[in-house]
């Protein structure tokens, strides 16, 4: 099936981008390892140098393997185009560079993924682009920060580590009235739970590394764009010489086919863990927008159709030895960067150090959890033993 338009996202991501009968009926597309791609004649060679060429000209510019994955992602998002790049971070860098030039101003949420901030502060600044960070909960108040040279507004909801939901439709309305482009990092929401283009976003970046791949074994990113911005995005990716390897593209596409069913389990486990943690005396607050206690719960309900398995919680202040006793004895939660795989993870975070437009005032340690696909009772039992160790270590330190 080429283009199952009008169907549910979960249907599109099963079928889009596959053409079995072009490949002997084989369900999944073949993996083309290619640098050189031969043209059959002088006339075709000459036409292959033109911008509107529909075939394949060079491995870096696209192969049937990359095209099939990109078609699937574009169909999943209902985007005009999607382009795969070598990591989620590369998707952020290329998307920002596609819309910004020297002398421009960009507004970036204060809750952005930290490497995004670093890119703005260390790369965009060098090329004469000024960044202003804004309160993620600013909503239509973003109007007060728009300057005559504000060319882009960068959003990310929920906030990295801190899980604020942004009023992206309100922000997009203001941005568009000022002629600015709206970008969003939709790695948490995915196309399944946040319909970014319907909410006014022009360019979506997503770390394929996380849920699309889903198995903690691929680094990749994707940029999905409206027809207006697609050519500039593709051109910028080309200027950077950025592309993805064929085996990774294959794995990402395979992950895409099962993403909806995996996410259901990540979501259910994450919500269950969040509710359980909310009832623990050692916990100061749980940052999960799916909880009614979350300050942005109503906004999340309005704009999202679900959650993934990633959320944070904040412990009441405790000795470091108690934190170490909690974390070091966990058997099911690995400690490491990234998320979106089949396995559960836990990681300490320090938002205080990453903020400039707003402050982070929770005194206790923040921990970010990724709920994997394990049985929920086992995930809870592991944390429960962790709290036993935490309390014993806290008593010993007192």
Ligand X SMILES: *Cc1c(COP(=O)(O)O)cnc(C)c1O
* Interacting residues with ligand X (CB under 6 A): 87-89, 113, 160, 185, 187, 207, 209-210, 219, 221, 338
Please state the closest distance from residue 65 (CB atom) to ligand X, in A: 19
* C-alpha distance from residue 272 to each of 125, 261, 290, 312, 359 (Å): 43, 17, 10, 13, 29
Please state the closest distance from residue 256 (CB atom) to ligand X, in A: 15
User: Which of 164, 250, 163, 264 has the alpha carbon at shortest distance from 211?
Assistant: 264
* Candidates 57, 60, 316, 389; catalytic one: 60
Tokens 């952005």, located at residue: 112
User: Which of 326, 343, 320, 319 has the alpha carbon at shortest distance from 280?
Assistant: 326
Give 198's contacts (C-beta < 8 A, 6+ positions apart). Answer: 78
Please state the closest distance from residue 40 (CB atom) to ligand X, in A: 37
* Candidates 113, 211, 250, 333; catalytic one: 113
| 210 φ/ψ angles, rounded to the nearest 5 degrees | -85, -105
Nearest-angstrom CA–CA distance, 90 and 318: 38
Please state the closest distance from residue 149 (CB atom) to ligand X, in A: 26
Name the residue nearer to ligand X (CB basis): 68 or 184. 184
Contact status, residue 205 vs residue 221, Cβ threshold 8 Å: yes
Name the residue nearer to ligand X (CB basis): 201 or 325. 201
- Residue 221 pairs in a beta bridge with 85, 207
User: Which of 187, 233, 242 has the alpha carbon at shortest distance from 213?
Assistant: 187
* Candidates 104, 110, 167, 185; catalytic one: 185
Contact status, residue 201 vs residue 303, Cβ threshold 8 Å: no
Name the residue nearer to ligand X (CB basis): 168 or 207. 207
Whether 134 is a known active-site residue: answer no
| 346 φ/ψ angles, rounded to the nearest 5 degrees | -145, 140
Nearest-angstrom CA–CA distance, 354 and 334: 24
Whether 185 is a known active-site residue: answer yes
Strand order in the sheet with 310-315: 283-287, 310-315, 366-370, 345-349
Please state the closest distance from residue 152 (CB atom) to ligand X, in A: 17
Tokens 């592991």, located at residue: 382
User: Which of 219, 211, 251, 301 has the alpha carbon at shortest distance from 69?
Assistant: 251
Name the residue nearer to ligand X (CB basis): 317 or 348. 348
Please state the closest distance from residue 154 (CB atom) to ligand X, in A: 11
Name the residue nearer to ligand X (CB basis): 174 or 308. 308
Name the residue nearer to ligand X (CB basis): 88 or 246. 88
DSSP labels, 62-90: --HHHHHHHHHHHHHHT-SEEEEESSHHH
Whether 133 is a known active-site residue: answer no
Name the residue nearer to ligand X (CB basis): 161 or 172. 161
Please state the closest distance from residue 112 (CB atom) to ligand X, in A: 8
Name the residue nearer to ligand X (CB basis): 89 or 322. 89
* C-alpha distance from residue 43 to each of 48, 49, 50, 117 (Å): 9, 10, 11, 47
Whether 210 is a known active-site residue: answer yes
* Candidates 18, 137, 210, 262; catalytic one: 210
| Angle subtended by helix axes 230-239 and 88-99, to nearest 10 | 120
Please state the closest distance from residue 221 (CB atom) to ligand X, in A: 5
Q: Which residues are catalytic?
A: 60, 113, 185, 210
């Amino acid at each position: 099936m080429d283009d199952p338009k009008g169907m549910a996202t979960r249907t599109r991501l099963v079928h889009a981008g596959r053409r079995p009968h072009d490949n002997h009926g084989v369900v999944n597309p073949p993996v083309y390892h290619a640098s050189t791609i031969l043209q059959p004649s002088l006339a075709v060679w000459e036409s292959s140098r033109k911008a509107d060429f529909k075939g394949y000209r060079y491995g870096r510019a696209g192969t049937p393997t990359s095209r099939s994955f990109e078609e699937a992602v574009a169909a999943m998002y209902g985007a005009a185009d999607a382009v795969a790049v070598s990591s989620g971070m590369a998707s952020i860098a290329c998307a920002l560079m596609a819309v910004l030039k020297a002398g421009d101003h960009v507004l970036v949420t204060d809750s952005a993924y930290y490497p995004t901030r670093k890119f703005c502060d260390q790369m965009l600044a060098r090329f004469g682009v000024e960044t202003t960070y804004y309160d993620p909960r600013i909503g239509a108040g973003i109007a007060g920060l728009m300057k005559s040279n504000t060319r882009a507004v960068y959003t990310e909801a929920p906030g990295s580590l801190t899980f604020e939901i942004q009023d992206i439709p309100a922000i997009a309305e203001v941005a568009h009235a000022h002629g600015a482009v709206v970008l969003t990092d939709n790695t948490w929401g995915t196309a399944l739970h946040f319909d970014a283009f319907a909410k006014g976003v022009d360019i979506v970046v997503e770390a394929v590394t996380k849920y699309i791949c889903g198995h903690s074994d691929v680094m990749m990113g994707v940029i999905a764009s409206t027809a207006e911005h697609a050519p500039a995005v593709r051109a910028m990716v080309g200027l950077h010489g950025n592309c993805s390897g064929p085996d990774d593209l294959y794995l990402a596409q395979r992950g895409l086919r099962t993403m909806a069913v995996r996410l259901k389990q990540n979501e259910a486990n994450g919500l269950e863990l969040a509710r359980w943690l909310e009832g623990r005396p050692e916990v100061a607050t749980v940052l999960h927008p799916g909880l009614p206690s979350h300050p942005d719960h109503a906004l999340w309900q309005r704009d999202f159709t679900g959650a993934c398995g990633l959320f944070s919680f904040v412990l009441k202040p405790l000795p470091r030895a108690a934190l170490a006793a909690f974390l070091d004895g966990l058997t099911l939660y690995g400690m490491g960067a990234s998320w979106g795989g089949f396995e559960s993870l836990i990681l300490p975070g320090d938002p205080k150090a990453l903020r400039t437009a707003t402050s982070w005032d929770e005194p206790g340690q923040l921990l970010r959890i990724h709920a994997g696909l394990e049985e929920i009772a086992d995930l809870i039992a592991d944390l429960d033993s962790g709290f036993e160790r935490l309390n014993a270590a806290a008593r010993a330190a007192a």
